[in-house]
Structure 1
Amino acid sequence: MARKKKSSAPRLDPVVAGVFLLAAMAVGFYLGTLYQGSRGPATSAPTPQAAAQKDPDLSARIAAAEAKTKTDSANPDAWTDLGNLYFDADQPAKAVAAYEKSLELKPKNPDVLTDMGVMYRRLNLPLRAVESFDAALAVNPAHVIAAFNKSIVQLHDLNKPDDALKTLQALKAKKPDAILPGGHKIDDLISELKGSGSASPSFMR
Protein backbone atom coordinates (compact mmCIF):
# COMPACT_ATOMS: atom_id res chain seq x y z
CA MET A 1 0.00 0.00 0.00
CA ALA A 2 1.35 3.40 -0.93
CA ARG A 3 2.34 5.60 1.99
CA LYS A 4 0.57 8.91 2.21
CA LYS A 5 2.88 11.81 1.53
CA LYS A 6 3.45 13.83 4.66
CA SER A 7 2.73 17.52 4.65
CA SER A 8 5.72 19.85 4.53
CA ALA A 9 3.81 22.47 6.50
CA PRO A 10 5.73 23.96 9.40
CA ARG A 11 5.64 22.19 12.73
CA LEU A 12 5.24 23.44 16.27
CA ASP A 13 7.92 22.52 18.73
CA PRO A 14 6.14 20.19 21.16
CA VAL A 15 8.09 21.65 24.09
CA VAL A 16 7.50 25.24 23.00
CA ALA A 17 3.73 24.97 22.77
CA GLY A 18 3.35 23.83 26.37
CA VAL A 19 4.01 27.24 27.96
CA PHE A 20 0.64 28.69 27.06
CA LEU A 21 -1.36 27.45 30.02
CA LEU A 22 -3.68 30.40 30.59
CA ALA A 23 -5.20 29.42 33.92
CA ALA A 24 -6.43 32.93 34.70
CA MET A 25 -9.24 32.73 32.17
CA ALA A 26 -12.65 31.48 33.29
CA VAL A 27 -12.74 28.71 30.72
CA GLY A 28 -9.23 27.58 31.57
CA PHE A 29 -7.88 28.74 28.21
CA TYR A 30 -5.14 26.33 27.24
CA LEU A 31 -2.70 26.50 24.37
CA GLY A 32 -0.67 23.49 25.37
CA THR A 33 -2.05 21.19 22.68
CA LEU A 34 0.93 20.07 20.66
CA TYR A 35 0.91 20.12 16.88
CA GLN A 36 3.39 19.46 14.11
CA GLY A 37 2.04 20.81 10.87
CA SER A 38 -1.15 19.10 9.75
CA ARG A 39 -0.47 15.90 11.66
CA GLY A 40 -2.10 14.89 14.91
CA PRO A 41 -1.16 16.19 18.34
CA ALA A 42 1.88 14.96 20.24
CA THR A 43 2.47 15.03 23.95
CA SER A 44 6.18 15.75 24.22
CA ALA A 45 9.36 16.24 22.27
CA PRO A 46 10.49 12.76 21.21
CA THR A 47 13.92 11.40 21.93
CA PRO A 48 15.63 9.66 19.00
CA GLN A 49 14.94 6.34 20.71
CA ALA A 50 11.27 7.14 21.27
CA ALA A 51 10.91 8.34 17.70
CA ALA A 52 12.39 5.09 16.43
CA GLN A 53 10.02 3.05 18.58
CA LYS A 54 7.01 5.03 17.40
CA ASP A 55 8.05 4.79 13.75
CA PRO A 56 10.22 1.67 13.33
CA ASP A 57 11.02 2.42 9.70
CA LEU A 58 12.10 6.01 10.39
CA SER A 59 15.78 5.10 10.12
CA ALA A 60 15.16 3.42 6.79
CA ARG A 61 13.27 6.45 5.50
CA ILE A 62 16.08 8.73 6.65
CA ALA A 63 18.60 6.55 4.81
CA ALA A 64 16.47 6.69 1.67
CA ALA A 65 16.12 10.47 1.94
CA GLU A 66 19.87 10.85 2.45
CA ALA A 67 20.44 8.78 -0.67
CA LYS A 68 17.96 10.95 -2.55
CA THR A 69 19.91 14.10 -1.69
CA LYS A 70 23.03 12.48 -3.16
CA THR A 71 21.42 11.48 -6.43
CA ASP A 72 19.26 14.62 -6.72
CA SER A 73 21.31 17.15 -4.79
CA ALA A 74 19.89 20.16 -6.65
CA ASN A 75 16.34 19.35 -5.56
CA PRO A 76 15.31 21.59 -2.63
CA ASP A 77 12.33 19.39 -1.83
CA ALA A 78 14.65 16.43 -1.28
CA TRP A 79 16.58 18.42 1.32
CA THR A 80 13.35 19.64 2.93
CA ASP A 81 12.07 16.07 3.19
CA LEU A 82 15.35 15.01 4.78
CA GLY A 83 15.16 17.90 7.23
CA ASN A 84 11.61 16.93 8.14
CA LEU A 85 12.69 13.37 8.87
CA TYR A 86 15.54 14.59 11.06
CA PHE A 87 12.96 16.84 12.76
CA ASP A 88 10.80 13.80 13.49
CA ALA A 89 13.82 11.84 14.71
CA ASP A 90 14.82 14.65 17.10
CA GLN A 91 18.13 15.28 15.36
CA PRO A 92 18.00 19.09 15.28
CA ALA A 93 21.57 19.78 14.15
CA LYS A 94 21.14 17.54 11.11
CA ALA A 95 17.70 19.03 10.46
CA VAL A 96 19.13 22.56 10.44
CA ALA A 97 21.86 21.53 8.00
CA ALA A 98 19.31 19.97 5.65
CA TYR A 99 16.99 22.97 5.87
CA GLU A 100 19.89 25.34 5.18
CA LYS A 101 20.74 23.38 2.03
CA SER A 102 17.09 23.51 0.96
CA LEU A 103 17.08 27.28 1.45
CA GLU A 104 20.28 27.67 -0.56
CA LEU A 105 18.48 26.06 -3.48
CA LYS A 106 15.10 27.67 -2.88
CA PRO A 107 15.47 30.79 -0.72
CA LYS A 108 12.76 32.41 1.34
CA ASN A 109 10.54 29.39 1.88
CA PRO A 110 8.61 30.48 5.00
CA ASP A 111 7.63 26.95 6.01
CA VAL A 112 11.22 25.71 5.90
CA LEU A 113 12.40 28.81 7.76
CA THR A 114 9.78 28.17 10.43
CA ASP A 115 10.77 24.54 10.89
CA MET A 116 14.43 25.53 11.02
CA GLY A 117 13.58 28.01 13.77
CA VAL A 118 12.01 25.22 15.79
CA MET A 119 15.18 23.18 15.43
CA TYR A 120 17.36 26.12 16.50
CA ARG A 121 15.21 26.39 19.58
CA ARG A 122 15.69 22.67 20.23
CA LEU A 123 19.44 23.35 20.05
CA ASN A 124 19.04 25.96 22.80
CA LEU A 125 19.71 28.81 20.38
CA PRO A 126 16.65 31.02 20.95
CA LEU A 127 18.08 34.09 19.23
CA ARG A 128 18.81 32.07 16.10
CA ALA A 129 15.29 30.68 16.35
CA VAL A 130 13.81 34.18 16.44
CA GLU A 131 15.96 35.18 13.45
CA SER A 132 14.58 32.24 11.50
CA PHE A 133 10.99 33.04 12.44
CA ASP A 134 11.62 36.68 11.48
CA ALA A 135 12.89 35.56 8.09
CA ALA A 136 9.71 33.53 7.59
CA LEU A 137 7.56 36.49 8.62
CA ALA A 138 9.46 38.79 6.27
CA VAL A 139 8.26 36.57 3.43
CA ASN A 140 4.77 36.02 4.83
CA PRO A 141 3.79 38.43 7.63
CA ALA A 142 0.59 36.45 8.19
CA HIS A 143 2.37 33.15 8.82
CA VAL A 144 0.51 32.03 11.94
CA ILE A 145 2.86 29.29 13.14
CA ALA A 146 6.00 31.40 12.61
CA ALA A 147 4.50 34.24 14.65
CA PHE A 148 3.16 31.88 17.32
CA ASN A 149 6.52 30.13 17.70
CA LYS A 150 8.36 33.44 17.79
CA SER A 151 6.10 34.79 20.53
CA ILE A 152 6.63 31.69 22.66
CA VAL A 153 10.41 31.87 22.36
CA GLN A 154 10.31 35.56 23.26
CA LEU A 155 8.07 34.87 26.23
CA HIS A 156 9.46 31.64 27.57
CA ASP A 157 13.13 31.57 26.55
CA LEU A 158 14.04 35.26 26.34
CA ASN A 159 11.69 36.49 29.10
CA LYS A 160 10.40 39.32 26.92
CA PRO A 161 6.61 39.32 27.30
CA ASP A 162 6.31 42.80 25.76
CA ASP A 163 8.03 41.57 22.61
CA ALA A 164 5.83 38.48 22.55
CA LEU A 165 2.76 40.71 22.75
CA LYS A 166 4.03 42.89 19.91
CA THR A 167 4.60 39.81 17.77
CA LEU A 168 1.03 38.64 18.29
CA GLN A 169 -0.36 42.12 17.70
CA ALA A 170 1.58 42.32 14.43
CA LEU A 171 0.07 39.00 13.39
CA LYS A 172 -3.41 40.22 14.27
CA ALA A 173 -2.85 43.36 12.17
CA LYS A 174 -2.06 41.17 9.17
CA LYS A 175 -4.57 38.42 9.94
CA PRO A 176 -7.30 39.65 12.32
CA ASP A 177 -9.13 36.33 12.29
CA ALA A 178 -6.02 34.24 12.98
CA ILE A 179 -6.73 30.94 14.71
CA LEU A 180 -3.84 29.58 16.74
CA PRO A 181 -3.00 25.90 17.16
CA GLY A 182 -5.68 24.19 19.18
CA GLY A 183 -8.40 26.32 17.60
CA HIS A 184 -7.98 29.32 19.90
CA LYS A 185 -8.46 32.90 18.74
CA ILE A 186 -5.51 35.26 18.73
CA ASP A 187 -7.59 37.85 20.60
CA ASP A 188 -7.81 35.52 23.61
CA LEU A 189 -4.06 35.21 23.94
CA ILE A 190 -3.48 38.93 23.39
CA SER A 191 -6.03 39.75 26.09
CA GLU A 192 -4.33 37.44 28.57
CA LEU A 193 -0.90 38.89 27.89
CA LYS A 194 -2.21 42.43 28.21
CA GLY A 195 -4.02 41.57 31.42
CA SER A 196 -1.02 40.00 33.12
CA GLY A 197 0.09 43.46 34.26
CA SER A 198 3.67 42.36 34.89
CA ALA A 199 6.82 41.18 33.16
CA SER A 200 5.83 37.64 34.06
CA PRO A 201 2.26 36.65 33.12
CA SER A 202 0.29 34.56 35.58
CA PHE A 203 0.68 31.35 33.61
CA MET A 204 4.49 31.61 33.71
CA ARG A 205 4.79 31.95 37.47
Structure 2
Amino acid sequence: MNKETVLYVVIALLVGILGTVLVVGVVNKQKPAPATAGIPAGGGSPVDYQQRIAEAEKIVAGDPKNLQAWIQLGNDYFDTDQAQKAINAYGKALELDPTNVNVLTDQGIMFKRVGWFDKAIANFEKAQQLDPKHLQSLYNLGVVYMSDLKQPAKAVKYWERYLELDPMGPNSQQIRTMLEEAKGMAQTPSPQGQLFKK
Protein backbone atom coordinates (compact mmCIF):
# COMPACT_ATOMS: atom_id res chain seq x y z
CA MET A 1 0.00 0.00 0.00
CA ASN A 2 1.24 3.49 -0.69
CA LYS A 3 1.41 6.19 1.99
CA GLU A 4 -1.63 8.04 0.67
CA THR A 5 -3.83 4.95 0.91
CA VAL A 6 -2.63 4.16 4.44
CA LEU A 7 -3.32 7.76 5.46
CA TYR A 8 -6.81 7.57 3.93
CA VAL A 9 -7.61 4.37 5.85
CA VAL A 10 -6.27 5.76 9.14
CA ILE A 11 -8.26 8.98 8.78
CA ALA A 12 -11.42 7.06 7.90
CA LEU A 13 -11.03 4.83 10.96
CA LEU A 14 -10.33 7.76 13.27
CA VAL A 15 -13.30 9.72 11.98
CA GLY A 16 -15.55 6.69 12.39
CA ILE A 17 -14.44 6.10 15.96
CA LEU A 18 -14.53 9.80 16.81
CA GLY A 19 -17.97 10.20 15.24
CA THR A 20 -19.44 7.32 17.19
CA VAL A 21 -17.99 8.56 20.48
CA LEU A 22 -19.13 12.11 19.83
CA VAL A 23 -22.68 11.23 18.86
CA VAL A 24 -23.14 9.68 22.26
CA GLY A 25 -21.00 12.21 24.16
CA VAL A 26 -22.42 15.43 22.73
CA VAL A 27 -26.07 14.46 22.84
CA ASN A 28 -28.23 17.24 24.18
CA LYS A 29 -31.08 15.26 25.63
CA GLN A 30 -34.10 17.07 26.93
CA LYS A 31 -34.59 16.26 30.58
CA PRO A 32 -38.05 16.35 32.09
CA ALA A 33 -39.14 19.13 34.36
CA PRO A 34 -38.54 18.42 38.06
CA ALA A 35 -42.29 18.32 38.65
CA THR A 36 -42.75 15.12 36.65
CA ALA A 37 -44.64 12.90 39.01
CA GLY A 38 -43.08 9.62 40.03
CA ILE A 39 -39.78 9.94 38.17
CA PRO A 40 -36.85 10.33 40.54
CA ALA A 41 -34.20 12.91 39.70
CA GLY A 42 -30.53 12.05 39.52
CA GLY A 43 -29.43 8.69 38.30
CA GLY A 44 -26.22 7.04 37.38
CA SER A 45 -26.01 3.51 38.66
CA PRO A 46 -27.70 0.64 36.80
CA VAL A 47 -29.96 0.06 39.80
CA ASP A 48 -31.17 3.66 39.57
CA TYR A 49 -31.89 3.24 35.86
CA GLN A 50 -33.81 0.02 36.44
CA GLN A 51 -35.91 1.71 39.09
CA ARG A 52 -36.44 4.83 36.98
CA ILE A 53 -37.41 2.75 33.96
CA ALA A 54 -39.85 0.67 36.02
CA GLU A 55 -41.44 3.80 37.48
CA ALA A 56 -41.67 5.54 34.09
CA GLU A 57 -43.21 2.42 32.54
CA LYS A 58 -45.79 2.41 35.31
CA ILE A 59 -46.55 6.10 34.71
CA VAL A 60 -47.03 5.73 30.94
CA ALA A 61 -49.16 2.61 31.43
CA GLY A 62 -51.55 4.65 33.58
CA ASP A 63 -51.15 7.92 31.69
CA PRO A 64 -50.14 7.27 28.07
CA LYS A 65 -50.35 10.99 27.28
CA ASN A 66 -47.60 11.92 29.78
CA LEU A 67 -45.06 13.47 27.43
CA GLN A 68 -42.34 13.99 30.03
CA ALA A 69 -42.58 10.38 31.21
CA TRP A 70 -42.16 9.12 27.62
CA ILE A 71 -39.15 11.40 27.13
CA GLN A 72 -37.58 10.27 30.40
CA LEU A 73 -38.23 6.64 29.51
CA GLY A 74 -36.61 7.17 26.11
CA ASN A 75 -33.63 8.90 27.73
CA ASP A 76 -33.17 6.10 30.25
CA TYR A 77 -33.37 3.46 27.52
CA PHE A 78 -30.90 5.58 25.51
CA ASP A 79 -28.49 5.77 28.46
CA THR A 80 -28.73 2.03 29.10
CA ASP A 81 -28.13 1.18 25.43
CA GLN A 82 -31.58 -0.25 24.76
CA ALA A 83 -31.89 1.28 21.31
CA GLN A 84 -35.14 -0.29 20.13
CA LYS A 85 -36.95 0.51 23.36
CA ALA A 86 -35.61 4.08 23.21
CA ILE A 87 -36.82 4.40 19.62
CA ASN A 88 -40.29 3.24 20.66
CA ALA A 89 -40.49 5.53 23.72
CA TYR A 90 -39.30 8.52 21.70
CA GLY A 91 -41.88 7.59 19.06
CA LYS A 92 -44.65 7.81 21.68
CA ALA A 93 -43.30 11.19 22.80
CA LEU A 94 -43.27 12.39 19.19
CA GLU A 95 -46.88 11.30 18.75
CA LEU A 96 -47.69 13.73 21.56
CA ASP A 97 -45.29 16.47 20.43
CA PRO A 98 -44.04 15.98 16.85
CA THR A 99 -42.14 19.29 16.95
CA ASN A 100 -39.72 18.37 19.74
CA VAL A 101 -36.33 18.72 18.03
CA ASN A 102 -34.40 17.18 20.92
CA VAL A 103 -36.53 14.04 20.91
CA LEU A 104 -36.29 13.83 17.11
CA THR A 105 -32.51 14.05 17.42
CA ASP A 106 -32.23 11.50 20.21
CA GLN A 107 -34.43 9.07 18.31
CA GLY A 108 -32.28 9.72 15.24
CA ILE A 109 -29.18 8.75 17.21
CA MET A 110 -30.87 5.49 18.19
CA PHE A 111 -31.82 4.89 14.54
CA LYS A 112 -28.13 5.36 13.69
CA ARG A 113 -27.11 2.94 16.42
CA VAL A 114 -29.27 0.15 14.95
CA GLY A 115 -28.11 0.93 11.40
CA TRP A 116 -31.23 2.66 10.10
CA PHE A 117 -29.30 5.55 8.58
CA ASP A 118 -32.13 6.75 6.32
CA LYS A 119 -34.43 7.11 9.32
CA ALA A 120 -31.69 8.85 11.31
CA ILE A 121 -31.18 11.35 8.50
CA ALA A 122 -34.93 11.92 8.19
CA ASN A 123 -35.16 12.73 11.92
CA PHE A 124 -32.17 15.07 11.86
CA GLU A 125 -33.49 16.83 8.74
CA LYS A 126 -36.93 17.23 10.30
CA ALA A 127 -35.29 18.73 13.40
CA GLN A 128 -33.47 21.15 11.09
CA GLN A 129 -36.71 22.11 9.34
CA LEU A 130 -38.33 22.83 12.70
CA ASP A 131 -35.28 24.65 14.11
CA PRO A 132 -32.62 25.58 11.53
CA LYS A 133 -30.31 26.63 14.38
CA HIS A 134 -30.43 23.26 16.16
CA LEU A 135 -26.74 22.41 16.41
CA GLN A 136 -26.99 18.79 17.51
CA SER A 137 -29.00 17.72 14.48
CA LEU A 138 -26.50 19.47 12.17
CA TYR A 139 -23.63 17.75 13.91
CA ASN A 140 -25.31 14.35 13.66
CA LEU A 141 -26.16 14.78 9.98
CA GLY A 142 -22.45 15.28 9.35
CA VAL A 143 -21.53 12.22 11.39
CA VAL A 144 -23.95 9.92 9.59
CA TYR A 145 -22.86 11.12 6.16
CA MET A 146 -19.15 10.94 7.04
CA SER A 147 -18.90 7.82 9.17
CA ASP A 148 -21.78 5.65 8.08
CA LEU A 149 -22.61 6.57 4.50
CA LYS A 150 -19.06 7.54 3.46
CA GLN A 151 -20.27 10.74 1.79
CA PRO A 152 -17.83 13.34 3.15
CA ALA A 153 -19.00 16.09 0.78
CA LYS A 154 -22.43 16.02 2.44
CA ALA A 155 -20.84 16.03 5.89
CA VAL A 156 -18.90 19.15 4.89
CA LYS A 157 -22.16 20.97 4.12
CA TYR A 158 -23.63 20.31 7.55
CA TRP A 159 -20.49 20.97 9.54
CA GLU A 160 -19.88 24.26 7.69
CA ARG A 161 -23.42 25.30 8.60
CA TYR A 162 -22.75 24.30 12.22
CA LEU A 163 -19.69 26.58 12.34
CA GLU A 164 -21.63 29.44 10.75
CA LEU A 165 -24.09 29.22 13.63
CA ASP A 166 -21.60 28.57 16.43
CA PRO A 167 -18.07 29.54 15.35
CA MET A 168 -16.69 29.84 18.89
CA GLY A 169 -18.79 27.29 20.77
CA PRO A 170 -17.43 24.52 22.97
CA ASN A 171 -17.47 22.00 20.11
CA SER A 172 -16.30 24.31 17.34
CA GLN A 173 -12.65 23.19 17.32
CA GLN A 174 -13.67 19.56 17.21
CA ILE A 175 -16.06 20.31 14.32
CA ARG A 176 -13.29 22.19 12.49
CA THR A 177 -10.98 19.19 12.76
CA MET A 178 -13.64 16.81 11.48
CA LEU A 179 -14.55 19.29 8.73
CA GLU A 180 -10.97 19.45 7.47
CA GLU A 181 -10.75 15.65 7.42
CA ALA A 182 -14.06 15.47 5.52
CA LYS A 183 -12.87 18.07 3.01
CA GLY A 184 -9.68 16.10 2.45
CA MET A 185 -11.58 12.87 1.94
CA ALA A 186 -14.11 14.53 -0.36
CA GLN A 187 -11.26 15.63 -2.63
CA THR A 188 -9.36 12.32 -2.52
CA PRO A 189 -10.37 9.83 -5.19
CA SER A 190 -11.74 6.59 -3.85
CA PRO A 191 -9.21 3.74 -3.89
CA GLN A 192 -11.88 1.28 -5.01
CA GLY A 193 -10.89 -0.60 -8.11
CA GLN A 194 -7.18 0.12 -7.73
CA LEU A 195 -4.68 -2.68 -7.42
CA PHE A 196 -1.93 -2.52 -4.82
CA LYS A 197 1.34 -4.37 -4.53
CA LYS A 198 2.14 -6.22 -1.36
* Shared fold, TM over 0.5: yes
Whichever of the two has the greater Rg, that structure is 2
2:167 counterpart residue number: 177
**Against the structure 1 CA distance between its residues 187 and 81, is the aligned structure 2 distance closer, same or farther, given a 3 Å change threshold?**
same
Q: Which amino acid aligns with 1:191?
A: E
Offset at residue 160 of structure 1 (A) = 0.3
Q: Secondary structure of 1:37's match?
A: coil
Q: 2:188 pairs with 198, 201, 205, which one?
A: 198
Percent of matched pairs sharing the same residue: 34
1:153 counterpart residue number: 144
Q: In structure 2, what is the Cα distance between the partners aligned to 1:78 and 1:33?
A: 21
Q: Secondary structure of 2:65's match?
A: coil
Offset at residue 74 of structure 1 (A) = 1.2
**Contact 1:180 1:186 (8 Å CA) reproduced:** no
2:48 counterpart residue number: 57
Render the CA deviation track for 1:92-138: whole Å, top value 9, x for unaligned.
11111111111111111110000000100111111111111111111
Q: 1:90 pairs with 62, 67, 81, which one?
A: 81
**Against the structure 1 CA distance between its residues 109 and 121, is the aligned structure 2 distance closer, same or farther, given a 3 Å change threshold?**
same
Offset at residue 20 of structure 1 (A) = 5.0
RMSD of aligned alpha carbons? 2.9
TM-score by length of 2: 0.70
Tell me, yes or no, if structure 1 residue 135 matches structure 2 residue 126. Answer: yes
- Figure out how many residues of one structure are paired with residues of the other and give that number: 161
**Against the structure 1 CA distance between its residues 199 and 152, is the aligned structure 2 distance closer, same or farther, given a 3 Å change threshold?**
farther
Tell me, yes or no, if structure 1 residue 115 matches structure 2 residue 106. Answer: yes
Q: Unaligned regions of 5+ residues in structure 1, if any?
A: 1-15, 22-30, 39-52, 201-205
**Contact 2:142 2:156 (8 Å CA) reproduced:** yes
1:18 counterpart residue number: 17
Q: Which amino acid aligns with 1:119?
A: M
**Contact 2:152 2:183 (8 Å CA) reproduced:** no
Q: 1:104 pairs with 71, 89, 95, which one?
A: 95
Q: Unaligned regions of 5+ residues in structure 2, if any?
A: 1-14, 30-43, 191-198
**Contact 1:148 1:180 (8 Å CA) reproduced:** no
Runs (4 or more) in structure 1 with deviation over 6 Å come to none
Q: Which amino acid aligns with 1:184?
A: Q
Offset at residue 68 of structure 1 (A) = 1.0
**Contact 1:169 1:190 (8 Å CA) reproduced:** yes
Render the CA deviation track for 1:47-80: whole Å, top value 9, x for unaligned.
xxxxxx9422211110100011122211211111
